[in-house]
Homo-oligomer: A and B are copies of this chain.
Amino acid sequence: MEKFSRNSRVVAITKILSENPNKVVSLNVFSELLNAAKSTVSEDIVIVRQILEKLSLGKVQTISGAAGGIKFIPNIGEVEKQNFAEELCQKLMNKERIIPGNFVYMMDVMYSPEFIKLAGLILTTFFTEKQIDYVVTVETKGIPLAYEVARNMGVELVIVRRDNKVTEGSTVTINYVTGVNGSIQTMYLPKRAIKKKSQCLYIDDFMRSGGTAVGIRDLLKEFESDLLGMAVLIDDLTVSEKLVEGYHSIIDFNGVLNGEAKFTPS
């Protein structure tokens, strides 16, 4: 079987690690794929680790023990974070985005892999030290973002529905009060969607009063599970009384005045 040069091996290792964030990959995987001794692969990994850390592209952790291996933890530099937030604000402040009722059109941004990849990466960095079992969101606009965070954290995504579906089996239903206009809404989640005693993150596109976040926390209680953290892409500062605290956001929405929307980095 063919032998590969170190240059080739580090390329393959980098590719596989970066596509399996927060998953422990055994050294055997690389050793077999690349037909190289584990000691050789270990040296390759040192090279990969050093350059990724130096360029703030992520960390490579060594996990010892029988189920051990290496794990890639995605990262993004502080300058890139700041630039992303500023660019996003600029993009959303385009006057053509204002729609009747003083809403800001942002579906394109919420569904754009180009933006959501980076936004998801930034939100992930807030939780790298936490042990998480699930990333939870409510349909629909926050799904791509929550999916990115789940992907980066190497855990499952759970999508709470606003309608009950016959194809999902028995369901836990909760009613919650939206903070903004006090209307009652309902959320549905199949009983088998979350294992008991799980630790969850709530990720969404937009935080108004936080009524949905409270609903999610209550829903998770029904699964005997905890909400360990929350993060959104945009925090709506026009709603000053929030029902939750301690959440993260990337940019703030400061309202629409004279046909102009104002956004600032959080």
Query: CB within 8 Å of B: which residues of A?
Result: 4, 6-8, 10-12, 14-16, 18-19, 23, 33, 47-48, 50-52, 54-55, 57-58, 99-101, 103, 105, 107-108, 111-114, 116-117, 139-140, 143-144, 147, 150-151, 154-159, 161, 166-170, 190, 192-193
Contact = CB atoms under 8 A, between A and B. Distances in A.
A7 B8 contact: no
B108 A193 contact: yes
Nearest to A17: B15
A21 to B, nearest CB: 9
Determine how many copies of this chain the complex contains: 2
A143 B144 CA distance: 7
A100 B10 contact: no
Contact of A51 (B11, B52, B116, B192): B11
A7 B4 contact: no
Contacts of A143: 140, 143-144, 147
A157 B117 CA distance: 12
B19 A156 contact: no
B12 A10 contact: no
A117 B166 contact: no
Given A7-B7, A147-B113, A156-B112, A169 B100 contact: yes
Nearest to A168: B107
